Structure 1
């Protein structure tokens, strides 16, 4: 065997040994969990629900680091470029994973540079309108939009976000005109809606308390079946406009993270997401816990990436 070949084999073996040793002793210091959205949004709320329990299971604290902007891509790119040692993880909304790559010129390849670790929840998008808008159903919203072409606006957490895609699907399916107003996070959009500056939007957990307090009006849910939290509220399909948008959020790690670490995180996350405490948080948000292996999670994301990529192209959605 040539000396160079022997050196390469020895180096590879040494790297594998070091990686295995590191995985066996991991974690020995706090873990950073990057959240690509502002505090208070659904992605952040879920991260703060499971992070303390994950830290307890691993014997190290989980430090949440909010890095909002560009539809979640700022945090995403940061994690994808980080050292794959299990000490930097990403909690991302599905939009940044399955929609963002079709819109943004990223410095990373999401499918190549991030490893799906574990899903966390299936989100329920709810169509809500500001209280001052004189509509009480999807049909009335569509009729109002047609009677007032171009006067309605809808908010989202950013161009190409899941909330934007849902709004665009409604506009196209109903053949109405409405101005999209993108924000750096759903919380900002929600605040403007509460201030009567945005007319309608699709959103998840943050709207629930406002619906219950009659500060926002819920028209429909964009899921295949009715929400257990709002059983009297129709699905979008039942309301006559089939806009079904179901996203699975999750935790990711940079590619190259030792498999043993990914496997342990997956086991712990599966147990935590099914715990009574976390299930209660999700139920209060109108969401449902999801568990799957890293491979199953990756396959689900790939299917969604293809589906929503087709929608982005058909709607000609672009980041300006």
Structure 2
């Protein structure tokens, strides 16, 4: 090899070492599967599809949503853990990590080992709504009316966290109401509007119909922050009832096969979608508060939710919440 050729080769090697090519520069190589633990048409499914659309545009490959709802999210999570690779992601709520182990004795996976937080996306807005048939205009009014008529009135809720928080609220205040369970998410708001139940604790999207028709009204947002879609409605904490607070945190999770470098890249892209004005508009209109899209935010939210649940489980049995 001539001296000039050797010099050029040495320069090339130095250049490669100085600017290494990422092992994931060509990722994704084919469509990305996004397993979603919610049914089609639900608020969180809608959010997942908004993010899937935004990410597919960034990645130049389709992000295919696969809905696997049921069993507190464990069906979808189980499917994700069983089939994960570096082209499969999970979209679910923090409750899949915090609540599921409290309800199901023998999970087929370990939430801390098998689910790696990637990025927070949104917090679904959760509300406390009451019928207009009763003279209730505040949380103290609600306490007084229910206390004066123990066992007379009925309530319903969204699954999991809203139910546990309100059941604990009743227990704290020595109140007796009848819990009504539903399989169809549309029926509770219809019954609230017709006065067949008096209180509904669920997402904004699943409780707005009777409010819009003038048959019910909101007492509070039970998230830590106000709703972007209802900025004038105060939070339960602002109204002096932090015991009603919980958050509907959702986000992306990866499997252990995915490298830290790739997870960080995905988180950055999720954060970018969170900042897109059109995506934010759609998410807020669907009843979400948009978050920052960071890994730290998702981890912190999970830790906070576990702290809330530790308090709740000291008051009620979550497996038999009434």
* SS in structure 2 of the partner of residue 37 of structure 1: coil
* Cα distance change, pair 190–78 in 1 and its aligned pair in 2 (3 A): farther
Query: For residues 275-294 of structure 1, what are the structure 2 equivalents within 5 Å?
Result: 275-294=276-295
CA offset at residue 119 of structure 1? 0.4
* Cα distance change, pair 303–198 in 1 and its aligned pair in 2 (3 A): same
* SS in structure 2 of the partner of residue 151 of structure 1: coil
* SS in structure 1 of the partner of residue 249 of structure 2: strand
Report the counterpart of residue 58 of structure 1 in structure 2: 59
Report the counterpart of residue 96 of structure 2 in structure 1: 96
* Cα distance change, pair 152–75 in 1 and its aligned pair in 2 (3 A): farther
Report the counterpart of residue 267 of structure 1 in structure 2: 268
CA offset at residue 270 of structure 1? 0.4
Say which one has the larger Rg: 2
Rounded to whole Å, the distance in 2 between the matches of 1:191 and 1:197 is 9
CA offset at residue 79 of structure 1? 1.2
Report the counterpart of residue 220 of structure 1 in structure 2: 220
Report the counterpart of residue 82 of structure 2 in structure 1: 81
* SS in structure 1 of the partner of residue 279 of structure 2: helix
CA offset at residue 173 of structure 1? 3.5
How many residue pairs match? The answer is 298
Rounded to whole Å, the distance in 2 between the matches of 1:255 and 1:185 is 35
Report the counterpart of residue 308 of structure 2 in structure 1: 307
Q: Deviations over 1:54-87 (max 9, x none)?
A: 1111112222222221122211222122222222
Kept in 1: contact 2:204–2:287 (CA 8 A): yes
* Mean Cα deviation higher: 70-79 or 178-187: 178-187
1:31 partnered with 2:32? yes
Query: For residues 131-210 of structure 1, what are the structure 2 equivalents within 5 Å?
Result: 131-158=132-159, 161-183=160-182, 186-187=185-186, 189-194=188-193, 196-207=195-206, 209-210=208-209
Kept in 1: contact 2:28–2:59 (CA 8 A): yes
Report the counterpart of residue 16 of structure 1 in structure 2: none
Kept in 2: contact 1:68–1:185 (CA 8 A): no
* SS in structure 2 of the partner of residue 118 of structure 1: strand
* Mean Cα deviation higher: 297-306 or 271-280: 297-306
Rounded to whole Å, the distance in 2 between the matches of 1:196 and 1:94 is 32
Kept in 1: contact 2:168–2:315 (CA 8 A): no
Rounded to whole Å, the distance in 2 between the matches of 1:191 and 1:73 is 28
* SS in structure 1 of the partner of residue 315 of structure 2: helix
Report the counterpart of residue 254 of structure 1 in structure 2: 255
Listed as ranges, the gaps of 5+ residues in structure 2 are 1-20
CA offset at residue 193 of structure 1? 3.8
Report the counterpart of residue 49 of structure 2 in structure 1: 48
CA RMSD, 1 decimal: 2.8
* Mean Cα deviation higher: 52-61 or 308-317: 308-317
Rounded to whole Å, the distance in 1 between the matches of 2:174 and 2:167 is 10
CA offset at residue 108 of structure 1? 1.1
* Cα distance change, pair 215–28 in 1 and its aligned pair in 2 (3 A): farther
* SS in structure 2 of the partner of residue 129 of structure 1: strand
Kept in 2: contact 1:92–1:250 (CA 8 A): yes
* Cα distance change, pair 156–38 in 1 and its aligned pair in 2 (3 A): farther
Task: Give the structure-1-normalised TM-score.
Answer: 0.81
